[in-house]
C-alpha cells in the first residue's frame, strides 16, 4: 500500500462531517475584536457618546452609516474570500460603495464652505485609529485563517479595512468633529492605510 493510500484511509476515518463550529470560530474572532475595542473605548473615555450629546444623532448617522456598512461588506468579502473557488471580485468592488456618499459629501463641503479640516481632537482620533485598527485587523486575520483563503493579498486588504472600520466605529461616537474633510483625513485615510498594510502583509499572515 502506498503512503497516499494510507493517508486516504486516515483522512476518511474522520468522515466528511464538519467538526467544530467553523462559523462560530469565524464570527467569534470578529466579535472578540469588536468587544475588545468597545471595552477599551468605554473604559478610557468617560463620555463615549460625546458627539451625540453635542449634536444629536445626525453626524453619527453619517459616521456609523459609513463605518458599519464598510464592516458589513468586509465581513461578507472575508467570508467569500475564505472559500476557495469563489469569485470575490464583486464583493471587493462592493467595498467601494460606502466611500461613495463620503466622497459626495466631501465634494459638497469643499464646493460650499471649503475644507473643514481643523479640529482640536485630531491627535486623539489618530491615536484611537492607530491603537484599535490593529486589534480589528488581528481579529479579521484570525477569522479568515480559520477558513481557506487562496487570494491572500485581497483577503489581507479586506482584513485591514475591517480593522480600520472597526476602530472608527468604536471611536466615532466620541469624536466631536463634524467636517467631512476631517473625517476623510483622520478616518478614511487611516482605513485605506490599514487596507494597504493588510494587502502587503496578507500573504505572510494568512498562509495556511
Ranges within 138-167 binding another protein (CB under 8 A): 147-148, 150
**Under the criterion CB under 8 A, does residue 14 sit at the interface with another protein?**
yes
Q: What does the alpha-carbon distance between residue 35 and residue 195 come to, in Å, rounded to a whole number?
A: 21
Please give the Cα distance from 103 to 143 (Å, whole number). Answer: 30
Per CB under 8 A, 84 contacts another protein:
yes
Count of Cβ atoms closer than 10 Å to residue 110 Cβ: 13
Could you say which of 18, 46, 111, 112 contacts another protein (CB under 8 A)? Answer: 18
Stretch that binds another protein, among 82-90, 110-118, 120-128, 175-183 (CB under 8 A): 82-90
Q: Which residues contact 127 (CB under 8 A, 6 or more apart)?
A: none
Binding residue (CB under 8 A) for another protein from 11, 96, 108, 113: 11
- Are 199 and 158 within 8 A, CB to CB? no
167 neighbors 62 (Cβ within 8 angstroms): no
Q: Decide: is 90 part of the binding site for another protein (CB under 8 A).
A: no
Q: How far is the CB of 146 from another protein (least distance, A)?
A: 9
Nearer to another protein, 20 or 120 (CB): 20
Of 139, 159, 16, 154, nearest in space to 88 by CA: 154
Name the burial class of residue 116, with classes exposed (0-12), middle (13-18) and buried (19+) by CB atoms within 10 angstroms of its CB. Answer: middle
**Shortest Cβ 73–another protein spacing (Å):** 19
Query: Based on CB atoms, which residue is closest to another protein, 4 or 46?
Result: 4
Among 1, 4, 43, 111, binds another protein (CB under 8 A): 4
**Which residues of the shown chain bind another protein in the complex (CB under 8 A)?**
3-4, 7-9, 11-20, 22, 82-86, 147-148, 150, 207-208
Amino acid at each position: 500500500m502506498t503512503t497516499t493510500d494510507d493517508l486516504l484511509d486516515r483522512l476518511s476515518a474522520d468522515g466528511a462531517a464538519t467538526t467544530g463550529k467553523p462559523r462560530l470560530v469565524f464570527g467569534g474572532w470578529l466579535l472578540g475584536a469588536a468587544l475588545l475595542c468597545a471595552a477599551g473605548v468605554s473604559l478610557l473615555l468617560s463620555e463615549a457618546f460625546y458627539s451625540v450629546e453635542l449634536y444629536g444623532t445626525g453626524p453619527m448617522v453619517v459616521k456609523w452609516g459609513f463605518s458599519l456598512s464598510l464592516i458589513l461588506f468586509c465581513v461578507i468579502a472575508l467570508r467569500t474570500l475564505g472559500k476557495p473557488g469563489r469569485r470575490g471580485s464583486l464583493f471587493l468592488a462592493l467595498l467601494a460603495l460606502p466611500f461613495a456618499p463620503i466622497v459626495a459629501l466631501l465634494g459638497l463641503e469643499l464646493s460650499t464652505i471649503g475644507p473643514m479640516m481643523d479640529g482640536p481632537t485630531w491627535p486623539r482620533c489618530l491615536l484611537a485609529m492607530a491603537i484599535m485598527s490593529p486589534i480589528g485587523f488581528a481579529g479579521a486575520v484570525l477569522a479568515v485563517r480559520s477558513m481557506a483563503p487562496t487570494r491572500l493579498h485581497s483577503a489581507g486588504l479586506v482584513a485591514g479595512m475591517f480593522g480600520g472600520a472597526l476602530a472608527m466605529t468604536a471611536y466615532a461616537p466620541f469624536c466631536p468633529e463634524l467636517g467631512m474633510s476631517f473625517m476623510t483625513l483622520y478616518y478614511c485615510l487611516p482605513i485605506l492605510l490599514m487596507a494597504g498594510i493588510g494587502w502587503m502583509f496578507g500573504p505572510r499572515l494568512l498562509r495556511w
